[in-house]
Structure 1
């Protein structure tokens, strides 16, 4: 069964080959009562200096956490091959973060010779794409900063749905483009309504990515989410159309790969007959 994570972050690093710094950081994101960020060393770090891309997950608010804090996590990071998904480089781990270990990752993620190869698929239009999936299994020592922040981030009503301030523009835009999206949605529980809406926002964001960035597991999860929210009463014809287009294109790719495999088998059988 596919491993599930709480948060999935896509980080695009532009002008990778000409970055002025040996170390760069992503924007902060929140998972499991902590702020996190990705840290990359484009020219390598430690034993991998000038050999491989080094990539780490770091606790961004470690200084504000109480004495004795710990975070038990699971983490998967992928350097995306933008021309062939199966060539993407992926590594996983289940580290504990604490005061003595505020970052964790891999010094040797992808050899620089492969990463910078213009025909290799990792570097496209000067950009490298990284996907990080993070789950927090246990929290010891809560973040006072995040608790204070959560009090400030009071929900706002948009078309009968309670959303965070950061989501207001996205939700308003959604209802402007698709005014009848929730015309048949009946649940009254505000938490349930919010959960369904968040699923739609996440689904829409996923399907707006380049098809090459979506794995077969991503497509399967998208189909399950779409089925669930559609049964609840949402009208999502445009997302269903988008998912079908991506699915049909992926199916065609799989069929072509199978044809190539069959042809290879035929060629091998012909060779064996010749050798005999």
Structure 2
């Protein structure tokens, strides 16, 4: 498996100082016959005893200061030896700083045997505020080195070759700067999300040669973004387009079983949501109908109250007149007796 280029941001406080016996040789610029200049040779003694992250002393190349961070016990949950190159002064640099450089990292034993050589001689990496460091996992562990007899005299040597092609000390934001990420052409602000894809699904692009990956960058990121939305927010058109995009990417050689499963999951959740929503809508319609009928009954009740009040008033008037008539006749009867 081809080692993947990994973005790296150094963390303060995670440094093991160079112990006695470690030596660092800063190399002057070599002849122009070499595409990259050897910038550092770092000899690490007592390697098997190293536990935490190790950081080289700063070294110069291309007018910039660099550092190498080495993880003898692995990095980010992985146990493979890992090496990263980063700008030594990245925290104190001015806004908009960037460096573009070709680089290679080598791991050798005491005899000078190459145990690991990073790929990417033709890749120009962008170092900036969003991605101050880049590096690789070596697919080697301390146990593997010892089992295969590669670790001689308990010493390892790291060599760094760099060719700086652009240096900007201050400028506009680099968030939209284009960079090559294992064949994908992305902007700097997307490196974290793309790195997450490679970390969680490391073999998804193995069948697609790096130079052909760039054409599918936007398609892949767009599909991942679509399927990260809430199912209720997705339309049938978006799901149909997602299926077409998934088919196109799979035909190109990408192994996207995880996205296929995600699409099926999202589609099913959407159907359930629509079904639940339809039931809710039906209940709401029934409630509205009941409320409307109740409103009509209230109106009819008020009408009946008014009619009853009017009728009662008329009946009361008749009673009053009848009472007057009775009183009149009683009075007349009383007068006639006298």
Tell me which interval the TM-score lies in, with the shorter structure as reference length: 0.3 to 0.5
TM-score (norm: length of structure 1): 0.45
TM-score (norm: length of structure 2): 0.37
Higher relative contact order (CA 8 A, sep 6+): 1
